[in-house]
Structure 1
Amino acid sequence: MTHASFRLPRPWRAAAVAAAAALCLASPVAAQSFKLGVVTFLSGPAAESFGVPAGNAAKMMVEQFNKGAAPAPYNKTGFGGMKIEMVMVDEAGGAAKQVQEMRNLYQRENVDAIVGYIGSGDCLAVAPAAEELKKLLVLFDCGTPRIFEDASPKYVFRTASHAAMDNISLTRYLKSRNIKADSFNMINQDYAWGQDSKADFVAAMGVLYPNAKPGADLLPKFGAGQYGTEVSALASRPADLTYSSMWGGDLQAFILQADARGALKDTTLVLSAADHVLPGLLNKVPDGTVLGARGAYGILSARSPLNDWFQGAYQQATGVPPVQASYRVTQALMGLKLAVEKAMAANGGKKPSTEQIADALRGSTWDSPGGQIRMALGGGQQAIQGTAIGRTKYDAAAKRVIAVDIQTFPAECTMPPAGVKSLDWIKAGMQGAKC
């Protein structure tokens, strides 16, 4: 059997050749993707109020980026035309497990970068492992200052301020409002975040309230859940302030148990990172609680076109307002997106290498829903940002907690200068702070 040959008419052949040429020209970027690992708590006591909101924001932002639906300068499709493929991993399980999970993301899933990690203990474990692998790691949360104060990584970045900001802004707020603080009790989780936060708060109080006397110093383990012993200790040693850097399910459980026993009635509760537990606690949080959100986020955030867009898009996607974890993962993704696109532009429009992206992210500045982010410390790999502190008030008609008497603090007021360790700077009187 013979086969008849088939040949396109000349005009069609010309059109087909032109179309094929156009496809070839477009294919280097269009055919590529950027594979992104995202790590957050999806199970355990830190999931409901913190890890899941972060994961929801990551999903929403990747979807918005891939549709080209985010506001300028974030409106290019994907990352510079490359579709973002996201792989999300649960942070639960401890530091050793997270190091292995991270290696799997890089070596088996072949992700181009990871944005992740909430627990300070996890960050301290995965950061040196990422550096060893020479892979890009963008920490979006974890507050311990040790990541960049005790090391000088090349491939690890943190796109949010560390915990010194939270505790310095808290004490500055107390002082500016003339809140009585002759004595203070403390309860913090017994791991890097709680220990570092406590040290910063005590040091800042020593500068701004030199005559204040510390009382109870309680360090329950992370995830303890039951705080009967601690509540009894606080009730037996009343103080003007009760300070805590606890967060997630631990903070929710502590406030519920302390409230039930009246242990918070005659003290001003001072919480460094607590906005995310308010939707679940409502009127169980004492009115007048001094509250931080680890940035100008959520109920402490300022109106701006970018923040209005983010809050509206997040609420439409999830049915609830965004909290600090949602903001922090979003600003990380925005910073990474701009860095990838800057690196692509310098690479002739081709997908950039890990080193090229790191060079573009290092020392960069961008606007986020919570304000401007500047990679100003740690050799340009640790962010600084402004923050806000306020006091809580339960709005019975709206059935939600709102923030009142809000005060904002610029980054230069609450973060040390480059090359100076946070605790050393605080103890020396925070010299050079611009408030």
Structure 2
Amino acid sequence: MMRKNLTAVLAATLLVGPLAACGSSGGSGSGAGGSGGSVTVGESTSLSGSIANLGQTGLQGLQMAVDDINAKGGLLGKKVKVVSADDNAQPATGAANARSMITKDKAVALFGPVSSAVASAEEQVAEQYKTPIFFHTSNDVSLMTKTFTPYAFQNVPNTTMEPRAVADYLAKKVGSKQITIATFAPDYSFGHDTVDGFLQALKKLHVNYKLVKQEFPPLGASNISSYLSALVSAHPQYVFNAQYGGDLVAFTKQASQFGFFKDTTVIAMYAYAPLDALGSAAPTGAIGFDRAAFWAIKNPEMSKFVTAYKAKYKKYPTEWAILAYASAQEWAYGVKKAGSFDSDKVIKEIPGATVPTIIGDMKIRECDHQAEVPEYVGTISKTASSQYGGLHLYDNIFTAPFNDIALTCDEAKALQQ
């Protein structure tokens, strides 16, 4: 297990402003909320391997939020520090990391991870030790339904919301004509749930489609040629791909060698990071979706964050960095409202609250602790953006509203039984 401590420091380049919006402190606090000293939060996430970019940039977003808190004197009079560990995308490792952070590092809150399978394992540890955990990357709908605990909060569009948004976009694009579709997704709960959600949404929207192929390569597989060959042989008009990070970049490069994008429209999580990695090789005309597209979120707080992040890391922020920062704002909001770091007091202040964040006011639904956030969908532009370093971003971006894509509270509660 790789561990490292990230001690928050003050620096002139750090972000100033967004966390000031997080409500009043509600007093000096009691117990762990007393003034002086420091308090620790932890993030066990994927810091190596093909999906490392998600974990690394998420950790950067969390650290920037903590640095901003500390630049304003800390939280309830305490400095906040971050401890982190690599989970290697393994549930057992993630659970061990989370347990160590709580018992040895005395972490009062947890953030992350990338994999939903790891998140499920960490969620059980968080419940055991009554420690709040904030998911800003992993998004399986089961985390807030089948394995729901009052100590867990989900700040990303889940595996019901995300595919519904994409299906809605596709339905508007194809109308009533019949289309052929194939799916491609990592072989674990997130991949299967996302694909199932997409196909169910197509049926609900009465899209006239024929499913011609489904492939489920292992997460992080370096050689996907056999899976890709089977996909090519099926000749689908559209492919819904639930891969992400380095896996999606690898898929795109290998598929391009087959000339796959010439006759097939791929629908995938072409967010900022893979588009940046692909550069001019980005598959223009493909349909991309993003959980927090910084270029589509227009508010002063986001502008400040983007400027500060780029100055610090020489890159634009990924959706993972953005949502990690917003998650830290959510935790800080709960602490200030409770006037304490005590977990049972903090988790009572967040459900039903509307938290000011860099992505805008983020309401946390009381019935399942799901943040009421949108999904962003668009077609990758053939024209490189002069504003954003020549990247091929989205044309005609569609912001799918939460109420159109989320489970109802009744549906969520039924799955919590």
How far the C-alpha of 1:258 sits from its partner, in A, is 0.3
Question: Judging changes above 3 Å, is the alpha-carbon distance between structure 1 residues 181 and 315 closer, same or farther for their aligned structure 2 residues?
Answer: farther
**Map of 1:403 onto structure 2:** 394
What code does the residue aligned with 2:42 have?
A: G
Give the Cα separation in 2 of the matches to 1:196 and 1:31.
Answer: 45
SS at match of 1:400: coil
Give the Cα separation in 2 of the matches to 1:120 and 1:273.
Answer: 19
| Unmatched 5+ stretches in structure 2 | 1-32
Q: 1:38 aligned to 40, 43, 48, which one?
A: 43
How far the C-alpha of 1:288 sits from its partner, in A, is 1.5
**Map of 2:362 onto structure 1:** 373
Give the Cα separation in 1 of the matches to 2:274 and 2:207.
Answer: 31
Give the Cα separation in 2 of the matches to 1:376 and 1:392.
Answer: 32
Contact residue 386 and residue 411 of structure 1 kept, 8 A: yes
Question: Judging changes above 3 Å, is the alpha-carbon distance between structure 1 residues 385 and 181 closer, same or farther for their aligned structure 2 residues?
Answer: farther
Q: Any runs of at least 4 consecutive aligned residues in structure 1 with deviations exceeding 6 A, and if so which?
A: none
**Map of 1:144 onto structure 2:** 140
Identity of aligned residues (%): 22
**Map of 1:185 onto structure 2:** 182
Contact residue 167 and residue 272 of structure 1 kept, 8 A: no
**Map of 2:262 onto structure 1:** 265
**Map of 2:333 onto structure 1:** 338
**Map of 1:420 onto structure 2:** 411
Give the Cα separation in 2 of the matches to 1:409 and 1:122.
Answer: 28
Q: 2:221 aligned to 219, 224, 227, which one?
A: 224
Give the Cα separation in 2 of the matches to 1:297 and 1:364.
Answer: 24
**Map of 2:15 onto structure 1:** none
Give the Cα separation in 2 of the matches to 1:380 and 1:212.
Answer: 33
**Map of 2:30 onto structure 1:** none
Q: What are the superposed Cα offsets for residues 122-142 of structure 1, whole Å, 9 maximum, x if unpaired?
A: 011121222122222222221
Cα RMSD over matched residues? 2.1
Contact residue 339 and residue 361 of structure 1 kept, 8 A: yes
Contact residue 242 and residue 268 of structure 1 kept, 8 A: yes
**Map of 1:21 onto structure 2:** none
Within a 5 Å distance, the mapping from 1:6-405 to structure 2 comes to: 29-48=34-53, 50-68=54-72, 77-178=73-174, 182-272=179-269, 274-294=271-291, 296-299=292-295, 301-344=296-339, 351-376=340-365, 379-396=367-384, 398-405=389-396
How far the C-alpha of 1:394 sits from its partner, in A, is 4.5
Q: What are the superposed Cα offsets for residues 254-309 of structure 1, whole Å, 9 maximum, x if unpaired?
A: 11000111112101111146442110012322212111112x4234x221111111
Contact residue 139 and residue 159 of structure 2 kept, 8 A: yes
Q: What are the superposed Cα offsets for residues 58-115 of structure 1, whole Å, 9 maximum, x if unpaired?
A: 22221122102xxxxxxxx322332111111113150011111111000011111111
What code does the residue aligned with 1:414 have?
A: I
SS at match of 2:327: helix
Question: Judging changes above 3 Å, is the alpha-carbon distance between structure 1 residues 421 and 194 closer, same or farther for their aligned structure 2 residues?
Answer: same
How far the C-alpha of 1:421 sits from its partner, in A, is 4.4
Give the Cα separation in 1 of the matches to 2:38 and 2:182.
Answer: 51
SS at match of 2:213: strand
Give the Cα separation in 2 of the matches to 1:40 and 1:219.
Answer: 23
TM-score normalised per structure 1? 0.83
SS at match of 2:174: coil
What code does the residue aligned with 1:355 have?
A: D
- Deviation larger for 140-149 or 398-407: 398-407
SS at match of 2:381: strand
Give the Cα separation in 1 of the matches to 2:51 and 2:275.
Answer: 14
Give the Cα separation in 1 of the matches to 2:316 and 2:58.
Answer: 12
SS at match of 2:260: coil
**Map of 2:23 onto structure 1:** none
Tell me the matched-pair count. 380
TM-score normalised per structure 2? 0.86
Give the Cα separation in 1 of the matches to 2:116 and 2:330.
Answer: 21
Contact residue 267 and residue 288 of structure 2 kept, 8 A: yes
Question: Judging changes above 3 Å, is the alpha-carbon distance between structure 1 residues 422 and 319 closer, same or farther for their aligned structure 2 residues?
Answer: farther
Give the Cα separation in 1 of the matches to 2:337 and 2:412.
Answer: 31
What code does the residue aligned with 2:390 have?
A: K
Work out which of the two has the higher radius of gyration on C-alpha atoms and give 1 or 2: 1
SS at match of 1:200: helix
Question: Judging changes above 3 Å, is the alpha-carbon distance between structure 1 residues 160 and 182 closer, same or farther for their aligned structure 2 residues?
Answer: same
**Map of 1:18 onto structure 2:** none
| Unmatched 5+ stretches in structure 1 | 1-27, 69-76, 345-350, 425-435
